[in-house]
């Protein structure tokens, strides 16, 4: 769920108390006390001390704490969503998904964490090595730093933190300076639910983010590609591992045998949900020429029924600020100037708020920024293609590779198309749904990131270091290669191992 603009501000830092405004109304949403970057060393040191006891609780003990937090989240859903709308200008329907997603993740993690984190016994690679018992332990990294974006301040703050906490790590969370308020409520809820003080929140911009990277043993960053590179470069100074979910320009392919009504509904929702401010939103569509006109007509009909505005009774709300609006407006203006047509929207409405109307663009091509740069706004450019091969080529003609979608009446055919797309996930006859499938990994290719979130057990193990313990089943064979043995015995042992090991390659080579 990537934010397209950097979350580490390049210039000014914040001190004292800051005021956060609602981007839909300009009203005060709340105040935040900015963290002194110099104090983050001490916060991280406190987390390291607390981590030992948290790890010692074991998976069962940590699961109980996570379960109580899940209940707290549901009990306080109204409070969280009201604040979320106030600091982001979201519609009520868009705000409603965030707590729901966290509860889903918590439910799955609670059920599976004991097995996922248990020591794993590995078989010997050869019968001759069966005298050794191999066990892999998953040891938590003490402090996991999470730098979260503004587009989903609740979900992105904790969707990775849940896996880290389950693994026995502590979490040092820096929310976006644009949306700091809900993170404070989430930390309050963690403590009110009876959990130990292993989740810290620090507030600020660049200097605070840098201090988080410098004091963490693992960094999860969600944000722009440009900022992700800076995070990776800084983390590399201490060889700190990172997982980066970065920008996207997700394509959708509509085949001639697709259910056009379903595809149109999906394209509109996938493009406009959360005002288009979703990493896996539909950012460009390639439609086979046989069904192009029918698809465009259905999309325009659906878009014309959308209601834009914050809170209840609207389909999607404001963009986070005017800088985001300007990106969407620039992409649309440049496309129209180059020959594209805006069938809906296309002009920012008059009045208060960082709103941009749902805009459908046709007669577009890859010379236009609306098809090549991440827009992160409520736009839907649609391009006619002659065949599937052209659609695949154009879909892959991008520096990004986060996710994609394919619509076809033949699921087997859609799967064949899917595995030719250069991205981390593909939805067939649906959009965005991979976000809900937390047993599947969600990771970007190319400039869309490195590593992955979710992925079942891997979503917890990624925050651990693997430690292999090799123990003897018997003392027979111990010391067979030591220097105190004769050279003749060493040669015989080497010959025997080689002959046994070669049996399988010789059979496979025939």
Q: Which residue numbers are catalytic?
A: 245
CB 33 within 8 A of CB 203: yes
> 93 and 315 in contact (C-beta within 8 Å)?
yes
Contacts of 416 (CB under 8 A, 6+ apart): none
Structure letter (DSSP) for residue 318: -
Bridge partners of residue 251, in order along the sequence: 284
Question: 369 in helix, strand or coil?
Answer: helix
Q: Strand, coil or helix: what is 61?
A: helix
**Cα–Cα distance for residue pair 480/282, rounded to 1 Å:** 61
Which tokens in the block code for residue 428?
């067939």
Pairing, β 453-454 against β 441-442: antiparallel
> Do the Cβ atoms of 444 and 453 come closer than 8 Å?
no
Phi, psi of 342 (to 5 degrees): -95, 110
| DSSP for residue 388 | H
Name the token pair of 358. 């749902």
Instruction: Tell me how far CA of residue 335 lies from CA of 3, 6, 278, 284, 365, in angstroms.
Output: 23, 24, 22, 13, 9
Answer yes or no: are the C-beta atoms of 17 and 214 closer than 8 Å. Answer: no
Q: What is the 3-state secondary structure (H, E, C) of 221-285?
A: EECCHHHHHHHHHHHHCCCCCEEEECCCCCEEEECCCCCHHHHHHHHHHHHHHHHHCCCCCCCEE
- CA nearest neighbour of 247 among 447, 421, 445: 447
In angstroms, rounded to a whole number, what is the distance separating the alpha carbons of residues 243 and 378? Answer: 28
Angle at 342 between CA 336 and CA 348, to 5 degrees: 90
Q: Is 45 helix (H, G, I), strand (E, B) or coil?
A: helix
Could you tell me the two tokens for 373? 């740069």
Task: Check: CB of residue 461 under 8 Å from CB of residue 469.
Answer: no
Residue among 229, 291, 284, 282 nearest 258 (CA): 291
């Amino acid at each position: 769920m990537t934010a397209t603009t950097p979350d580490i501000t390049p210039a000014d830092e914040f001190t004292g108390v800051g005021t956060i405004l609602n981007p839909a109304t300009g009203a005060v949403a709340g105040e935040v006390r900015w963290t002194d970057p110099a104090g983050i060393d001490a916060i991280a040191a406190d987390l390291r001390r607390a981590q030992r006891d948290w790890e010692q609780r074991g998976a069962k003990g940590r699961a109980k704490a996570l379960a109580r937090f899940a209940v707290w989240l549901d009990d306080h859903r109204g409070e969280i969503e009201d604040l979320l709308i106030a600091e982001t200008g979201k519609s009520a329907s868009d705000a409603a998904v965030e707590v729901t997603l966290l509860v889903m993740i918590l439910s799955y993690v609670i059920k599976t964490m004991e097995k996922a984190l248990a020591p794993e016994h590995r078989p010997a690679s050869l019968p001759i090595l069966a005298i050794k018992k191999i066990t892999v332990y998953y040891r938590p990294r003490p402090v996991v730093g999470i730098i979260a974006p503004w587009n989903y301040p609740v979900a992105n703050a904790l969707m990775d933190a849940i896996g880290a906490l389950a693994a026995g790590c502590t979490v040092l969370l820096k929310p976006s300076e644009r949306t700091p308020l809900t993170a404070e409520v989430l930390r309050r809820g963690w403590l009110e639910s009876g959990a130990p003080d292993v989740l810290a929140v620090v507030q600020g911009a660049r200097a605070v983010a840098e201090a988080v990277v410098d004091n963490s043993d693992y960094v999860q960053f969600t944000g722009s590609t440009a900022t992700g590179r800076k995070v990776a470069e800084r983390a590399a100074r201490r060889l700190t591992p990172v997982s980066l979910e970065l920008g996207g320009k997700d394509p959708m392919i509509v085949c001639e045998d697709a259910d056009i009504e379903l595809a149109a509904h999906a394209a509109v929702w996938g493009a406009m949900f959360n005002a288009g401010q979703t990493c896996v939103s539909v950012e460009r569509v390639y439609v086979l020429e046989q069904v192009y006109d029918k698809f465009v007509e259905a999309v325009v009909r659906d878009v014309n029924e959308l209601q834009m505005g914050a809170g209840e009774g609207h389909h999607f709300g404001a963009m986070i600020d005017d800088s985001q609006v300007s990106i969407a407006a620039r992409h649309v203006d440049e496309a129209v100037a180059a020959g594209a047509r805006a069938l809906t929207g296309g002009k920012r409405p008059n009045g208060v708020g960082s709103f941009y109307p749902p805009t459908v663009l046709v007669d577009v091509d890859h010379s236009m920024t609306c098809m090549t740069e991440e827009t992160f706004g409520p736009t839907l450019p649609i391009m006619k293609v002659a065949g599937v091969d052209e659609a695949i080529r154009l879909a892959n003609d991008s520096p990004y590779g986060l996710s994609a979608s394919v619509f076809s009446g033949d699921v087997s055919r859609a799967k064949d198309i899917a595995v030719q797309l250069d991205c981390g996930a593909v939805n067939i006859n649906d959009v965005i749904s991979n976000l809900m499938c937390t047993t599947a990994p969600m990771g970007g290719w190319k400039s869309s990131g490195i590593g992955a979130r979710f992925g079942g057990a891997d979503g917890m193990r990624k925050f651990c270091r693997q430690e292999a313990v090799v123990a003897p089943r018997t003392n027979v064979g111990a010391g067979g290669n030591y220097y105190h043995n004769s050279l003749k015995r060493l040669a015989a042992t080497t010959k025997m191992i080689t002959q046994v090991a070669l049996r399988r390659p010789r059979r496979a080579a025939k």
